[in-house]
Amino acid sequence: MKPASIGLAFILMASLPDAAVRGADPPRLERIRVSPDGRRFILAESGRAFLPWGFNYLGKFDHLAEDDWGTHEGWKRIEADFREMKRLGANVVRWHLQFETFVKAVDRVDADQLGRLKRLLVLARETGLYLDLTGLNGFRKDRIPAWYDALVEADRWKCQALFWDAVARTCAGDSTVFCYNLMNEPVIGEPRPDEPPWVTGELGGFYFVQRICNKPAGRKAEDIAESWVKSLVAAIRRHDKVTLITVGDIAWTVIWPGGKPAFASPQVVRHLDFVGVHIYPATGRIDKDIAALEPYDVGKPLVVEEIFPMTCSLADLDRFVDASSPRVDGWIAHFFGSTPAEHRAGARPAGPLTADFLEYWAAKGPKVQAGSHQ
């Protein structure tokens, strides 16, 4: 090649996006769907069984990844964490999309932030990780827009539909998305006088629980839940007809054995593709915790979307997973942005205890998945 041609080639390469310089796009992941009998997950093209196994991910402990995912340092940390979660055996990462990140007014979304979501899809595909995109979060109470808190229920739901319309439009056609989770731990009921109007469940400064209705006014919980779910599913399906949809529900049956969870009721669950439930087993009640999953086993795949040994030993957690695996079709624990070695050196939370858990989870995954394929 002549010198002038070399110079021209260099200029052309320098002008290309990074992905084009590196080579072809990463391989497309097979889309996940529900099996024909409605009981489990399979890969759409090959028909092979798929059991979601992975981590909830907020970013570094006490931090939200979306706070600085637009910076070089923030993005590099996310890349490193995704590689580490993959190394620990994950095939799914549950990412918690914050409402205020994406919605700026009742009729306006942030195009730049949606672009970062698109970039996240590429990273997930590069690392071979599916995404459980959980939306509408308001984990930091002081960042919830005042205008949003002031909306009446119907207008709030319209803004939530706007959120999901934008997210589904951004992600439609990308098989990297395992599912859209409409909301983390939605509840129905009036707040106490000392509570914020829409969020509750504070833990470590984050508010993980959110009301979809704070004035039931005599309406049945199942009717409210169905109307809310239908409105958001419709917003998603305008752009994405195939990606799975669920809701992340608290295992209320631990507190009220024999109860009938609204989001797992026939009236509501018929609009969802699978059931998601959050449960944290406790030493001394493992048998009750196992039984608490039964009302969520309603003929659709069941995923334990949150689990961690906060109140039990690893031995008790292992017993719970083994005993529940015949009815559970996926498990998602927690990753806090540090490696086992960093936890063993004191990284929060819980230092060596979290290190032990991560090493246990990495070793347990292949065994549970092997059992699911039998």
Instruction: Give 316-363 pLDDT, tens digit per residue.
Output: 999 999 999 999 999 999 999 999 999 999 999 999 999 999 999 999
φ/ψ of 257, rounded to 5, equals -55, 135
Checking if the pLDDT of 308 tops 80, the result is yes
Q: What is the pTM of this model?
A: 0.92
Distance CA 290, CA 277 (A): 12
Q: Whole domain around residue 150: which residue ranges?
A: 25-372
* Residue 26 pLDDT level (bands cut at 50, 70, 90): confident
Quote the pLDDT of residue 27.
Answer: 82
CB of 248 within 8 A of CB of 154? no
Mean pLDDT, residues 202-211 taken together: 96
Residue 185 in domain = yes
Please count the other Cβ atoms lying within 10 Å of the Cβ belonging to residue 2: 7
Residue 210 in domain = yes
Residue 95 in domain = yes
Please count the other Cβ atoms lying within 10 Å of the Cβ belonging to residue 315: 12
Residue 20 in domain = no
CATH label of the domain that carries residue 264: 3.20.20.80
Mean pLDDT, residues 272-286 taken together: 98
Distances (CA, A) of 346 to 60, 350, 358: 14, 8, 14
Residue 181 in domain = yes
What are the DSSP calls for 223-241, one per residue? HHHHHHHHHHHHHHHTT-S
Distance CA 202, CA 94 (A): 20
Distance CA 264, CA 211 (A): 17
* Residue 284 pLDDT level (bands cut at 50, 70, 90): very high
Q: Quick one: tokens of 66?
A: 């979306």
Structural domains of the chain, count: 1
Residue 357 in domain = yes
Distance CA 70, CA 65 (A): 10
H/E element, 367: helix 352-372
What are the DSSP calls for 251-288, one per residue? -GGGTSTT---GGGSHHHHTTSSSEEEE---BTT-HHH
Instruction: Give 122-162 pLDDT, tens digit per residue.
Output: 999 999 999 999 999 999 999 999 999 999 999 999 999 99
Residue 9 in domain = no
Residue 4 in domain = no
